[in-house]
């Protein structure tokens, strides 16, 4: 190996057996910042001009090859050279260039690799073009080179889903040429040496394989329908399906589309979500605090919620002990959990070995003392203060003093539950969303006396469950349900003021919610919220505006979809507008002397979004939520707020000026 030459602060190279090994070292993820692009360009020029260099290997330092373009540069003035220009130089080099994928090659990182003449990957690496998740399309050749390499159908799937694939799948698809064990760079060097002086396989020169256009149209229509109004997936479809045209033409179109999308509101929203997710894990007061080790999790209450949590915990590799009131009920819980695992097996999410291993790590009991060796205990029993306090007091007597106790309450005050226990400092809230094995959000409730390492334990366990944990302070309904209540209240005011349920739902669906609010109510059933309203009736502020329409519907037996009628009617299971509901709403308006007026979709949205954002302001002012981004993540991951709108706090910021 020759001495190392620095081509820029982040790109250096050394010659090994006549091959220039170029290493990108730009922590944390080797993003292709301006300095990286500069360094790469200089290294390529050196390789081209040096008579003692026969080939090039490009690799990354650390555990990533290249994580993509530097997202932090988006929105700043463009700096030369551009990534497509550098990538074109790679492909055009007269000497063989081998990509040695030491770790993830994502976005611009994979685009660099696609332009190399050969790709060898470590078994642990993943590759993908996740740009659509950021509201953009690949902007450095991905939509044109990937179809040339693996065909339009597979490229369409990868680019429009943004999913990453592991080394094995990358090999079978033809994205990489080889999986290399051991000295990856050494192998890449000998491959480059072998190709020296031989004709090179340039991806851009390959012909896009011909496929049945009706198949492509079917797949494209499906993708467009799933995009819920987002622009990037549709643009990606267009670019990939037209990739059989001359490369230069396709690349020009791709770049223009990329720049247009990069500067869009949608992309700004998704970047906000990306950074908010990373920010959310930085919690005040936890710097340097280690979580307690967790290997065994106890779950109390094996109903729907408890079973879902159990499945998530088993999937994360934990040993799970489920507790329920009697051996029979516990056994039913066991069956429910195994049933969910079987569904994962049937859908291919779990293989037989994984299923067997998870099942073997599950046991159930009706004896509190069987939880004695658990590190973390999550209760998901009936949402009643006395029931929860009784349970925690019983557990206090049998579990280890350093075990962590988590309550999954949605509406009760976890401080009251904690105060009733022997060690309130080990109590926190872990508020899962149903179904808990599917929904990504977990609100981690920091109670008044929760110890920092207990909070850290809740966060780290939730992360291991592959959830998105967001820390919240104690307040009725925590972050999500407080915002949701404000949103629901405003929607009901809108009903009284003149809008109808289907008009409100249409506005929400057009905005990107998967389902309108009133359709969701009908699906979930109206009775639980009705019971809560009845409980709260005595303590309600008599001067506050209260809309009685939902109560009237319940009194008329309209409990939602299950009962065939709710905010809508469901004559044969299909949702239709019900004139009877309109009559009930009109009567409610008349009773209060409200003269209804027409609301446009924009007006409806504006009022609903503003109600959410104002409640968010209150949560921030009260210190319940740490950052606006945390609120946005809760609403996106727990309540169907469209991620491409950035969440309610982001949504009200004026769109940034486009810089192109």
Q: Which residues are catalytic?
A: 111, 131
Question: Using an 8 Å Cβ cutoff, are 361 and 319 in contact?
Answer: yes
Q: Which of 20, 40, 71, 380 is in the footprint of ligand 3HC by CB under 6 A? A: 71
List 41, 91, 131, 379, residue binding ligand 3HC (CB under 6 A)? 131
Q: Which is nearer to ligand 3HC, 76 or 532 (CB)?
A: 76
Rounded to whole angstroms, how far apart are CA atoms 137 and 93? 26
What are all long-range contacts of 282-288, with beta carbons under 8 Å and residues at least 24 apart?
283/455, 283/459, 283/471, 283/626, 284/626, 285/452, 286/452, 286/455, 286/456, 286/459
Q: Which of 96, 138, 147, 458 binds ligand 3HC (CB under 6 A)?
A: 138
Determine the distance from the C-alpha atom of residue 275 to the mean position of all C-alpha atoms in its chain, rounded to a whole number: 12
List, in sequence order, the alpha helices (H) in 50-134: 83-92, 108-115
- Closest among 59, 45, 78, 73 to 16, alpha carbons compared: 59
Q: Which of 15, 21, 58, 70 binds ligand 3HC (CB under 6 A)?
A: 70
How many angstroms separate the CA atoms of 255 and 209, rounded?
A: 23
Of 149 and 508, nearer to ligand 3HC (C-beta) is: 149
DSSP 3-state percent helix, strand, coil across the chain (nearest 5): 50, 15, 35
* Ranges within 14-33 binding ligand 3HC (CB under 6 A): 28-29, 31
Min dist CB 357 to ligand 3HC, Å, is 25
Q: Which residues contact 382 (CB under 8 A, 6 or more apart)?
A: 301
Shortest spacing between CB 136 and ligand 3HC, in angstroms:
6
Span near ligand 3HC by CB under 6 A; candidates 62-70, 167-175, 198-206, 368-376: 62-70
**Residues 82, 34: Cα–Cα separation, whole Å:** 8
Phi, psi of 78 (to 5 degrees): -65, 145
Q: Do you know the residue count of the chain?
A: 660
Part of the chain binding ligand 3HC (CB under 6 A), chosen from 50-58, 105-113, 283-291, 453-461: 105-113
C-alpha to C-alpha distance for 306 and 542, rounded to whole angstroms: 37
Judged by CB under 6 A, the stretch of 133-141, 181-189, 584-592, 639-647 that binds ligand 3HC is: 133-141
| Alpha carbon of residue 631 to chain centroid | 15
The SS3 call for residue 440 is coil
- The correct pick among 6, 72, 246, 317 for binding ligand 3HC (CB under 6 A) is 72
Site for ligand 3HC in 229-288 (CB under 6 A): 275, 278
Between residues 72 and 226, which has the closer beta carbon with respect to ligand 3HC?
72
Instruction: Give the C-alpha separation, 254 to 384, whole Å.
Output: 56
- Listed ranges 61-69, 356-364, 484-492, 511-519: which one lies at the site for ligand 3HC (CB under 6 A): 61-69
CB of 70 to ligand 3HC, least distance (A): 4
DSSP character string of 197-217: TSPP--GGGSPPPP--HHHHH
- The values of phi and psi at residue 178, to 5°, are -165, 145
Indicate which single residue of 106, 170, 500, 550 sits in contact with ligand 3HC (rule: CB under 6 A). Answer: 106
Task: State how far the Cα of 401 lies from the Cα of 423, in Å rounded to an integer.
Answer: 8
CB 132 within 8 A of CB 162: yes
Q: How far is the CB of 101 from ligand 3HC (least distance, A)?
A: 13
CB of residue 108 to ligand 3HC, shortest distance in Å: 3
What are residue 355's phi and psi, to 5 degrees? -60, -50
Smaller CB separation from ligand 3HC, 69 or 609: 69
Residue 522 binding ligand 3HC, by CB under 6 A:
no
Residues 159-188 that bind ligand 3HC (CB under 6 A): none
Span from 70-78, 115-123, 406-414, 570-578 in contact with ligand 3HC (CB under 6 A): 70-78
Closer residue to ligand 3HC in complex, CB, 134/486: 134
Contacting ligand 3HC (CB under 6 A), which of 24, 34, 113, 140? 140
Using the rule CB under 6 A, is 629 a contact of ligand 3HC? Answer: no
345 CB neighbour count, 10 Å cutoff: 18
Q: Shortest gap between Cβ of 137 and ligand 3HC (angstroms)?
A: 7
Local structure of 333: helix, strand or coil: helix
31 or 500, CB closer to ligand 3HC? 31
Distance CA 284, CA 531 (A): 37
Nearest to 60 by CA among 30, 88, 40: 30
Q: Applying CB under 6 A, does 130 fall inside the site for ligand 3HC?
A: yes
Interface residue with ligand 3HC among 60, 96, 139, 566 (CB under 6 A) is 139
> In terms of CB distance, is 91 or 131 closer to ligand 3HC?
131
- Joined together, the tokens standing for residue 493 give 């005011």
Residue 72 or 592 having the CB closest to ligand 3HC: 72
> CB under 6 A: which stretch of 14-22, 139-147, 317-325, 604-612 binds ligand 3HC?
139-147
Minimum Å distance from CB 28 to ligand 3HC?
Answer: 4
Q: Which is nearer to ligand 3HC, 78 or 523 (CB)?
A: 78
The secondary structure of 443-487 as a DSSP string is EEE--TT--HHHHHHHHHHHHHTT-EEEEE-SSTTHHHHHHHHHH
Q: Which of 43, 53, 83, 165 touches ligand 3HC (CB under 6 A)? A: 83
User: Contact region for ligand 3HC (CB under 6 A) — 134-142, 181-189, 451-459, 521-529?
Assistant: 134-142
- Beta carbon nearer to ligand 3HC, 31 or 337: 31
Closest to ligand 3HC by CB, 116 vs 612, is 116
Tell me how many residues contact ligand 3HC (CB under 6 A).
25
Distance between CA atoms of 321 and 330, rounded to whole angstroms?
10
Which secondary-structure segment (H or E) carries 419? helix 414-419
Stretch that binds ligand 3HC, among 102-110, 265-273, 388-396, 485-493 (CB under 6 A): 102-110
Which residues here bind ligand 3HC, judged by CB under 6 A? Answer: 28-29, 31, 64, 67-72, 83, 104, 106-108, 111, 130-131, 134, 138-140, 142, 275, 278
């Amino acid at each position: 190996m020759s001495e190392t030459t620095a081509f820029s602060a982040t790109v250096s190279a050394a010659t090994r057996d006549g091959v220039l090994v170029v290493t990108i070292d730009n922590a944390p993820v080797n993003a292709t910042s301006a300095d990286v692009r500069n360094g790469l360009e200089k290294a390529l020029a050196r390789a081209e001009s040096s008579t003692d260099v026969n080939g090039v290997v490009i690799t990354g330092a650390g555990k990533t090859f290249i994580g993509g373009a530097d997202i932090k540069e988006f929105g700043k003035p463009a700096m030369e050279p551009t990534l497509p220009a550098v990538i074109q130089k790679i492909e055009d080099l007269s000497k063989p260039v081998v990509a040695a994928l030491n770790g993830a090659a994502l976005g611009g990182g994979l685009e660099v690799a696609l332009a190399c003449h050969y790709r060898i990957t470590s078994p642990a690496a993943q590759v993908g073009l996740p740009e659509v998740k950021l509201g953009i399309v690949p902007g450095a050749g991905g939509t044109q080179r990937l179809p040339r390499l693996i065909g339009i159908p597979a490229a369409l799937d990868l680019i429009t889903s943004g999913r990453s694939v592991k080394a094995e799948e990358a090999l079978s698809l033809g994205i990489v040429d080889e999986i290399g064990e051991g000295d990856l760079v050494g192998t890449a060097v000998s491959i480059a040496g072998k190709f020296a002086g031989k004709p090179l396989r340039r991806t851009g020169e390959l012909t896009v394989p011909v496929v049945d256009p009706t198949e492509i149209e079917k797949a494209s229509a499906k993708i467009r329908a799933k995009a819920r109004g987002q622009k990037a997936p549709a643009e990606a479809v267009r670019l990939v399906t037209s990739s059989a045209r001359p490369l230069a033409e396709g690349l020009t179109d791709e770049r223009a589309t990329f720049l247009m999308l990069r500067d869009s509101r949608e992309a700004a929203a998704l970047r906000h979500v990306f950074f908010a997710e990373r920010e959310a894990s930085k919690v005040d007061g936890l710097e340097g605090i280690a979580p307690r080790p967790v290997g065994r999790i106890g779950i109390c209450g094996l109903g729907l919620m408890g079973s879902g949590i159990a499945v998530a915990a088993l999937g994360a590799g934990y040993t799970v002990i489920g507790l329920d009131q009697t051996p029979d009920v516990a056994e039913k819980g066991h069956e429910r959990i195994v049933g969910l695992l079987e569904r994962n097996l049937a859908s291919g999410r779990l293989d037989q070995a994984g299923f067997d291993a998870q099942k073997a790590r599950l046991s159930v009991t009706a004896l509190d003392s069987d939880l004695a060796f658990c590190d973390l205990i999550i209760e998901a029993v009936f949402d009643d203060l006395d029931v929860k306090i009784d349970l925690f007091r019983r557990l206090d007597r049998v579990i280890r003093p350093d075990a962590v106790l988590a309550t999954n309450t949605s509406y009760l005050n976890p401080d009251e539950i904690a105060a009733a226990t022997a060690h309130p400092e080990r109590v926190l809230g872990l508020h899962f969303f149903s179904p808990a094995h599917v929904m990504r959000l977990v609100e981690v409730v920091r109670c008044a006396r929760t110890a920092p390492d207990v909070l850290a334990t809740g966060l780290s366990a939730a992360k291991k469950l592959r959830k998105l944990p967001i820390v919240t302070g104690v307040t009725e309904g925590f972050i999500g349900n407080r915002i949701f209540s404000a949103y629901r209240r405003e929607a009901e005011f809108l009903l009284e003021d003149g809008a109808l349920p289907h008009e409100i739902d249409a506005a929400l669906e057009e905005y990107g919610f998967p389902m309108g609010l009133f359709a969701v109510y009908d699906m979930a059933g109206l009775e639980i919220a009705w019971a809560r309203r009845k409980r709260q009736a005595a303590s309600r502020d008599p001067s506050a505006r209260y809309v009685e329409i939902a109560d009237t519907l319940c009194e008329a037996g309209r409990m939602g979809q299950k009962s065939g009628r709710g905010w809508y009617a469901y004559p044969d299971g299909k949702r239709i507008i019900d004139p009877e509901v309109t009559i009930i709403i009109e009567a409610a308006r008349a009773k209060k002397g409200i003269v209804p007026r027409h609301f446009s979709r924009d007006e409806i949205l504006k009022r609903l979004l503003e109600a959410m954002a104002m409640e968010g302001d209150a949560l921030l002012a009260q210190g319940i939520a740490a950052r606006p981004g945390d609120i946005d993540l809760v609403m996106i991951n727990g309540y169907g707020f469209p991620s491409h709108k950035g969440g309610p706090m982001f949504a009200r910021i004026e769109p940034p000026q486009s810089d192109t």
